[in-house]
């Protein structure tokens, strides 16, 4: 009897143990396994991704945070048309929509900016979190929030927007309908705050504005020497460019900023340390060559005589896209365009009177300071004649599946210390200063004319942007708003002295920043080229840091200046143009260098392909492959021997690698090839003489050899689309959720830009054309929903790929279409 | 098996499936385990209890997937989740299998615990 009871106790204990083990695993997961119970529960787990993919139907939804009912109608592509009776309810509805369709994306963006990625993805994100904690986007956002007056429209908009987001978070959490990635990662989003929105603004500023130029220069000066560095990477470009504001210019002194030559071994060590850290950061942490186009015409340039505008911001092309398209009407607002999930207003679009779009100014906005420190004064730095204590901030970074990391951030008057290895190096970044961007955007959206538009941008500080403008009265303009830091002394393109003598003393006054209005040419355009000519009296950056090589701007200038009576179709042709402007300049020189040279049959065939080529980097063009491979080889053959001889540390800093798209390499080689073919740079460091023609011939031979090895012996089959691709990766870096690579046309400086290398993952993230009196249209490579099963996940990609557009309709037009489900949100 | 036993088993199964399904709608994934504990505790015959618990847990979770598959892209959801978990996108079957195995496990440990507890209690009370 006792044995039987003993066995039953043992059985009970085993059952208890097994039950507890399974329950624990199901409730908490283990290692990489998520909590299995909540994750796979068919009622509220990952399976809800299927029901969440349904397109909206007409229904009434309860939204307790509203004051009045709001109507949201969807068109067949998912664009949302909001009709609200109060401005507050409009911003609430935008928040509601963003959260309904992009909540995980929003949470990911705020986590990146707030240094909280490790909390949900583990130690892999620690380098990013530490960097963001140091840089201080969250600190800036908190300061911006504190500085907003209680009654400011921006504050009201942020509060209403947050409430809209939180209505969705609360409801979807309660019903188990949160996006699937929350479930797989095993966490629930915390409620949204206005500071979160300002952090998202900060992350965008960082992507567009934070650069490592002075660190790159420091490494080059250390290896190549100051003279050679400044000769090959000068402040002003050596080639002929097309600034949009050709002057004349006035020097109007320096306006205050609201807020606070040579490289030593210690500095170089510190620079190397910081550069090493940057290598482990996500792609969006630094500016990585994602650029943009915009232009406008009026008068005889337009078929109708009315103003026309085009804009295509080039950003990382991800799924879901950075953009969410909305159209809205409320008592104070009537607009249509694209918004960034997390921000309560469109960035690009039009209202009833004006249209606008953005490109990056690319001026230098990041300065590095070598702080003077001493073991005799621990925790202090020398500034303006005295030792001052560094401000110390202690942060704790929670880490999933690991212990929390404690981080200490030291701040000087210039900004956060990035390293103390060798030399104490701090960073002074314009994006760390409060910038009332939302207030500016609200002003733009309500503007009726250029005066109001220009006035709205007065306080836009970062990221500095070229705002193109066209209104319904036939006026056009362009203004490069933002901070342009001016230093007291020193070379701002190198790390500066932190003792106070090389501090930022102000910015270019707003009236003197690059701008034009109704120019006699009837056209304005920007494509990240240097906005002003060489006579501009202020320093705004060098060729390296970080204006583009200007070939997109040259192509746009060429197109607009040679066309009159343009239509939307002309603008679409230009936006989708894959013509390589540089090829048009250099290929004739190459053909000339090859003339009367002994060539093999294969080389002759390649030469003939180039001779009959129009410069179009079409996916089906063999000449395009030959040109690009040639230019890459020509660059490497010219600069490579010097890089090798002077040990330029390309392994440490990949920015220093010789590659197309690094503006000064292209500009130098273009200028030398066209007008200085015996430039000493063509010689070898050993002293052996070479000319441009000789280097070109050698590069051409290598090109044929390279392409033969890669694509076979027949040059006619060396199609560009076989070696050049586009892909749209998933924002969460999950390969199956991305759009796989396909052979594609374009290159880094065609108007239809393909940034990011031979598998391009950046480029036109939104294409928009507005023709006053005719209509407006737009498209982006993605879809409105982040749910990978939704028909709106990537539905716009085929149209984008084929150069098509969708009309930007009014709500009334959408309601007349057969498909127009409407949500009625009721308080 | 007596006819009444068979009917009782069927009734228990129907009630258990409904309870598990309802619990899942509120995120109570452990409903399958609790229901199985009760089956093990109150149903006579260990093997019968196990069978009813397995069938209840599998049906409570599986029928919902089947039902949803009639009007939702469940196969697509399985593929998408497989991709998110780092599996190949064509391994959606693994996700479905994982879901059903989990239901089966919850049913098993629940029934086992219920049966073991019943036996222990009956021994203890007999002794007393």
When CB atoms are compared, the residue of B27, B106, B115 closest to A38 is B27
Q: Do B24 and A42 touch (CB under 8 A)?
A: yes
* A contact set with B (CB within 8 A): 1, 4-5, 8-9, 11-12, 14-16, 18-19, 21-23, 26-27, 36-38, 40-47, 49-51, 53-54, 176, 180-181, 184, 732, 734-737, 788-789
Q: Do A181 and B68 touch (CB under 8 A)?
A: no
Q: Do A50 and B74 touch (CB under 8 A)?
A: yes
Q: With contacts defined as CB-CB under 8 Å, which chain A residues touch B118?
A: none
Query: pLDDT confidence of B1, banded at 50, 70, 90?
Result: low
Q: pLDDT for A565-593, tens place per residue?
A: 999 999 999 999 999 999 999 999 999 99
Distance CA A264, CA A124 (A): 34
Distance CA A213, CA A648 (A): 15
Q: In what order do the strands lie in the sheet with A822-826?
A: A59-62, A822-826, A70-74, A80-83, A324-330, A333-339, A346-350, A354-360, A465-471, A476-481, A515-517
Task: Categorise residue A176: left if φ over 0, alpha if ψ from -120 to 50, beta otherwise.
Answer: left
Q: Do B109 and A40 touch (CB under 8 A)?
A: no
Q: What is the CA radius of gyration of chain B?
A: 17
- Give the minimum alpha-carbon distance from A783 to chain B in angstroms, rounded to a whole number: 17
> Within 13 A of A34's CA, how many CA atoms are on the CB side?
25
DSSP A333-387: EEEEEEE-TTSSSEEEEE-SSEEEEEEE-----EEEEEEB--TTSTTEEEETTEE
Indicate whether A257 pLDDT > 70: no
Which single residue is written with the structure tokens 């959206």? A445
Q: Do B77 and A41 touch (CB under 8 A)?
A: no
When CB atoms are compared, the residue of A4, A8, A737 closest to B83 is A737
Distance CA A487, CA A506 (A): 7
Report the DSSP beta bridge partners of residue A406.
A396
- Give the minimum alpha-carbon distance from B45 to chain A in angstroms, rounded to a whole number: 15
Nearest CA in chain A to B127: A1
Query: Which residue in B19, B34, B77 has the most chain A C-beta atoms within 10 A of its own C-beta, making it the best mutation to test that interface?
Result: B77
When CB atoms are compared, the residue of A9, A49, A53 closest to B120 is A9
Cβ of A21: how many Cβ atoms within 10 Å? Answer: 12
- Give the minimum alpha-carbon distance from B3 to chain A in angstroms, rounded to a whole number: 30
Q: pLDDT for A334-368, tens place per residue?
A: 999 999 999 999 999 999 999 999 999 999 999 99
Q: Do B68 and A50 touch (CB under 8 A)?
A: yes
- Give the minimum alpha-carbon distance from B46 to chain A in angstroms, rounded to a whole number: 13
- Give the minimum alpha-carbon distance from A8 to chain B in angstroms, rounded to a whole number: 6
User: Is the N-terminal amide bond of A463 cis, ω within 30° of 0?
Assistant: yes
Which single residue is written with the structure tokens 């009332």? A436
Residues 6+ away with beta carbon under 8 Å from A408: A392, A393, A394, A395
- Give the minimum alpha-carbon distance from B17 to chain A in angstroms, rounded to a whole number: 13
Query: Which residue in B57, B95, B116, B126 has the most chain A C-beta atoms within 10 A of its own C-beta, making it the best mutation to test that interface?
Result: B116
Query: Which residue in B65, B84, B86 has the most chain A C-beta atoms within 10 A of its own C-beta, making it the best mutation to test that interface?
Result: B84
DSSP state, residue A410:
E
Task: Categorise residue A273: left if φ over 0, alpha if ψ from -120 to 50, beta otherwise.
Answer: alpha
Q: pLDDT for A511-557, tens place per residue?
A: 999 999 999 999 999 999 999 999 999 999 999 878 999 999 999 99
- Give the C-alpha distances (Å, rounded to integers) separating A430 from A387, A481, A675: 25, 13, 38
Q: Decide if A724 contacts A605 (C-beta within 8 A).
A: no
Q: Decide if A553 contacts A560 (C-beta within 8 A).
A: no
Query: pLDDT confidence of A260, banded at 50, 70, 90?
Result: very low
Which single residue is written with the structure tokens 């192509």? A555
Q: Do A788 and B26 touch (CB under 8 A)?
A: no
Cβ of A386: how many Cβ atoms within 10 Å? Answer: 9
Closest CA to A614 of A642, A577, A646: A577
When CB atoms are compared, the residue of B26, B82, B102 closest to A40 is B102
User: To which H or E segment does residue A120 belong?
Assistant: helix A118-121
- Give the C-alpha distances (Å, rounded to integers) separating A413 from A381, A463, A507, A697: 9, 21, 17, 54
Q: Do A15 and B127 touch (CB under 8 A)?
A: no
Q: Do A47 and B84 touch (CB under 8 A)?
A: no
At B2 the pLDDT is 60
Nearest CA in chain B to A179: B81
At A274 the pLDDT is 67
Q: Does B72 touch chain A (CB under 8 A)?
A: yes
- Give the minimum alpha-carbon distance from B52 to chain A in angstroms, rounded to a whole number: 18
Query: Which residue in A19, A24, A35, A738 has the most chain B C-beta atoms within 10 A of its own C-beta, making it the best mutation to test that interface?
Result: A19
Q: Does B13 touch chain A (CB under 8 A)?
A: no
Distance CA A790, CA A784 (A): 9
Alpha helices in A712-758 (DSSP H): 720-723
- Give the minimum alpha-carbon distance from A10 to chain B in angstroms, rounded to a whole number: 9
Token code pair at residue A134: 């140091």
Distance CA A19, CA B41 (A): 14
Q: Decide if A328 contacts A81 (C-beta within 8 A).
A: yes
- Give the minimum alpha-carbon distance from A735 to chain B in angstroms, rounded to a whole number: 7
Q: pLDDT for A682-722, tens place per residue?
A: 999 999 999 999 999 999 999 999 999 999 999 999 999 99
Report the DSSP beta bridge partners of residue A416.
A411
Q: Do A49 and B77 touch (CB under 8 A)?
A: yes
User: To which H or E segment does residue A764 belong?
Assistant: strand A762-764
Q: pLDDT for B24-76, tens place per residue?
A: 999 999 999 999 999 999 998 899 999 999 999 999 999 999 998 998 899 99
Averaged pLDDT of chain B: 91
Q: Does B2 touch chain A (CB under 8 A)?
A: no
When CB atoms are compared, the residue of A4, A41, A789 closest to B77 is A789
Nearest 10 degrees: CA dihedral of A521, A527, A533, A536? Answer: 110
Distance CA B101, CA B37 (A): 18
What SS3 string covers A454-500?
Answer: HHHCCCCCCCCEEEEEEECCCCEEEEEECCCEEECCCCCCCCEECCC
At A286 the pLDDT is 66
Q: Do B33 and A46 touch (CB under 8 A)?
A: no
Q: What ipTM did this prediction achieve?
A: 0.94
Task: Tell me the domains of chain A and their CATH numbers.
Answer: 36-206 (1.10.439.10), 581-725 (1.10.1400.10)
Query: pLDDT confidence of A16, banded at 50, 70, 90?
Result: very high
Q: Decide if B106 contacts B114 (C-beta within 8 A).
A: no
Pairing of strands A496-497, A366-371: parallel
- Give the C-alpha distances (Å, rounded to integers) separating A523 from A473, A556, A750: 15, 10, 20
Q: Assign A541 to helix, strand or coil.
A: coil
Q: Decide if A523 contacts A562 (C-beta within 8 A).
A: no
Nearest CA in chain A to B27: A44
Q: pLDDT for A146-174, tens place per residue?
A: 999 999 999 999 999 999 999 999 999 99
DSSP A779-811: E-SS-S---TTSTTSSTTHHHHHTT--EE---H
Q: With contacts defined as CB-CB under 8 Å, which chain B residues touch A23?
A: 30, 33, 109
DSSP state, residue A10:
H
Cβ of B126: how many Cβ atoms within 10 Å? Answer: 10
Distance CA A188, CA A657 (A): 43
- Give the minimum alpha-carbon distance from B1 to chain A in angstroms, rounded to a whole number: 26
Q: Do A44 and B26 touch (CB under 8 A)?
A: yes
Q: Do A50 and B26 touch (CB under 8 A)?
A: no
Q: pLDDT for A583-623, tens place per residue?
A: 999 999 999 999 989 999 999 999 999 999 999 999 999 99
Q: With contacts defined as CB-CB under 8 Å, which chain B residues touch A737?
A: 80, 83-84
Token code pair at residue A135: 């840089």
Q: Do B77 and A176 touch (CB under 8 A)?
A: no
Q: Assign A317 to helix, strand or coil.
A: coil
- Give the minimum alpha-carbon distance from B82 to chain A in angstroms, rounded to a whole number: 9
pLDDT average, residue stretch A440-450: 97
> Within 13 A of A823's CA, how many CA atoms are on the CB side?
22
Q: Do A11 and B116 touch (CB under 8 A)?
A: yes
CA angle A755, A757, A761 (to 5 degrees): 55
> How big is the A-B interface in CB pairs under 8 Å?
136
Residues 6+ away with beta carbon under 8 Å from A479: A454, A457, A466, A467, A469, A513, A514, A515, A516
Alpha helices in A148-264 (DSSP H): 153-174, 180-185, 194-209, 213-224, 226-232
Q: Does B43 touch chain A (CB under 8 A)?
A: no
CA angle A241, A244, A246 (to 5 degrees): 80
Q: Assign A35 to helix, strand or coil.
A: coil
Q: Do B30 and A180 touch (CB under 8 A)?
A: no
Report the DSSP beta bridge partners of residue A106.
none
When CB atoms are compared, the residue of B64, B89, B113 closest to A19 is B113
Q: How far apart are the first and last CA of chain B?
A: 32
Q: Do A5 and B84 touch (CB under 8 A)?
A: no
Which single residue is written with the structure tokens 């009959």? A612
Q: With contacts defined as CB-CB under 8 Å, which chain A residues touch B27?
A: 38, 41, 43-44, 176
Nearest CA in chain A to B30: A37
């Amino acid at each position: 009897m006792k044995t039987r009871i003993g066995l039953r106790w043992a059985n009970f204990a085993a059952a208890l143990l097994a039950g507890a083990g399974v329950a624990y695993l199901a409730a908490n997961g283990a290692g990489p396994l998520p909590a299995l119970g909540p994750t796979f529960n068919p009622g509220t787990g990952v399976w809800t991704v299927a029901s969440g993919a349904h397109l909206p139907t007409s229904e009434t939804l309860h939204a307790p945070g509203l004051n009045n009912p709001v109507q949201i109608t969807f068109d067949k592509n998912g664009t949302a048309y909001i009709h609200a009776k109060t401005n507050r309810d409009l911003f609430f509805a935008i928040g509601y929509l963003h959260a309904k369709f992009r909540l995980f994306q929003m949470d990911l963006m705020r986590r990146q900016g707030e240094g909280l990625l490790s909390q949900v993805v583990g130690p892999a994100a620690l380098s990013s979190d530490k960097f963001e904690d140091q840089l201080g986007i969250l600190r800036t956002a908190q300061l911006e929030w504190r500085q907003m007056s209680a009654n400011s429209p921006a504050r009201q908009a942020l509060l209403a927007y947050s409430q809209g987001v939180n209505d969705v978070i609360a409801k979807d959490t309660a019903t188990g309908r949160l996006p699937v990635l929350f479930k797989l990662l095993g966490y629930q989003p915390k409620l949204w705050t206005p500071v979160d929105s300002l952090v998202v603004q900060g992350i965008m500023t960082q992507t567009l504005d934070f650069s490592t130029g002075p660190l790159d220069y420091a490494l080059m000066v250390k290896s190549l020497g100051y003279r050679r560095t400044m000769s090959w990477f000068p402040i002003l470009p050596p080639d002929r460019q097309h600034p949009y504001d050709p002057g004349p210019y006035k020097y109007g002194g320096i306006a205050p900023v609201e807020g606070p030559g040579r490289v030593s071994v210690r500095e170089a060590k510190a620079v190397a340390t910081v550069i090493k850290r940057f290598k482990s950061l996500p792609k969006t942490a630094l500016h990585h060559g994602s650029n943009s186009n915009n232009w406008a015409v009026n008068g005889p340039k337009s078929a109708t005589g009315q103003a026309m505008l085009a804009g295509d911001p080039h950003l990382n092309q991800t799924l879901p896209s950075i953009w969410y398209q909305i159209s809205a009407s409320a008592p104070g607002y009537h607009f249509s365009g694209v918004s960034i999930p997390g921000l309560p207003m469109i960035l690009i679009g039009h209202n009833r009177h004006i249209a606008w779009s953005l490109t990056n100014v690319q001026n230098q906005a990041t300065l590095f300071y070598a702080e003077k420190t001493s073991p005799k004064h621990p925790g202090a730095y020398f500034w303006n004649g005295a030792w001052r204590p560094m401000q110390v901030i202690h942060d704790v970074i929670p880490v999933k599946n690991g212990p929390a990391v404690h981080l200490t951030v030291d701040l000087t008057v210039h900004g956060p210390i990035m390293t103390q290895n060798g030399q104490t190096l701090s960073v002074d970044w314009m994006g760390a200063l409060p910038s009332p961007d939302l207030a500016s955007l609200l002003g733009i959206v309500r503007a009726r004319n250029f005066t109001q538009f220009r006035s709205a941008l007065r306080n836009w500080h970062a990221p500095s942007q070229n705002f193109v403008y066209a209104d319904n009265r036939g006026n056009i303009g362009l203004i490069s708003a933002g901070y342009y830091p001016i230093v007291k002394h020193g070379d701002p393109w190198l790390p500066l002295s932190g003792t106070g003598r090389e501090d930022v003393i102000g910015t270019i006054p707003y009236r003197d920043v690059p701008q034009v209005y109704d120019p006699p040419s009837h056209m304005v355009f920007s494509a990240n080229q240097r906005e002003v000519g060489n006579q501009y009296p202020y320093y705004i950056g060098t060729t390296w840091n970080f204006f583009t090589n200007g070939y997109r701007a040259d192509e746009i200038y060429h197109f607009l200046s040679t066309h009159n009576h343009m239509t939307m179709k002309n603008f679409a042709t230009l936006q989708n143009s894959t013509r390589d402007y540089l090829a048009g300049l250099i290929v004739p020189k190459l053909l000339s260098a090859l003339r009367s040279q002994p060539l093999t049959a294969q080389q002759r065939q390649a030469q003939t392909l180039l001779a009959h080529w129009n410069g179009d980097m079409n996916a089906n063009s063999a000449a395009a492959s030959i040109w690009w491979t040639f230019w890459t080889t020509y660059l490497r053959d010219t600069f490579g021997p010097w890089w090798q001889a002077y040990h330029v540390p390309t392994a440490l800093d990949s920015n220093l690698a010789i590659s197309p798209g690094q503006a000064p390499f292209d500009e130098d080689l273009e200028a030398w090839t066209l007008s200085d073919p015996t430039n000493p740079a063509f010689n070898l460091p050993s002293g052996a003489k070479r000319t441009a023609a000789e280097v070109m011939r050698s590069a051409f031979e290598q090109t044929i050899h390279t392409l033969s090895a890669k694509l076979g012996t027949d040059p006619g089959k060396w199609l560009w689309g076989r070696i050049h691709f586009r892909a749209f990766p998933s924002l969460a870096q999950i390969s199956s959720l991305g759009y796989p690579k396909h052979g594609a046309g374009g290159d880094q400086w065609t108007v239809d830009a393909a940034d990011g290398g031979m598998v391009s993952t950046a480029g036109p993230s939104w294409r928009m054309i507005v023709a006053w009196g005719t209509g407006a249209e737009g498209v982006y490579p993605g879809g409105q929903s982040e749910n990978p099963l939704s028909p709106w996940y990537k539905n716009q990609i085929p149209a984008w790929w084929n150069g098509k557009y969708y009309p930007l309709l009014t709500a009334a037009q959408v309601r007349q279409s057969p498909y127009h489900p409407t949500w009625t949100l009721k308080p | 098996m007596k006819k009444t036993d068979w009917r009782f088993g069927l009734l228990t199964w129907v009630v258990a499936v409904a309870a598990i399904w309802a619990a899942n709608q509120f995120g109570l994934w452990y409903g399958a385990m609790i229901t199985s504990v009760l089956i093990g505790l109150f149903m006579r015959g260990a093997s019968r209890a196990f069978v009813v618990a397995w069938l209840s847990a599998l049906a409570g979770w599986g029928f919902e997937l089947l039902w949803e598959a009639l009007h939702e892209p469940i196969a697509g959801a399985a593929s998408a989740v497989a991709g998110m978990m780092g599996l190949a996108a064509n391994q959606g079957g693994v996700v479905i299998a994982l879901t059903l195995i989990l239901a089966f496990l919850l049913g098993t440990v629940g029934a086992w615990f219920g049966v073991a507890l019943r036996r222990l209690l009956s021994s203890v009370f007999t002794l007393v």
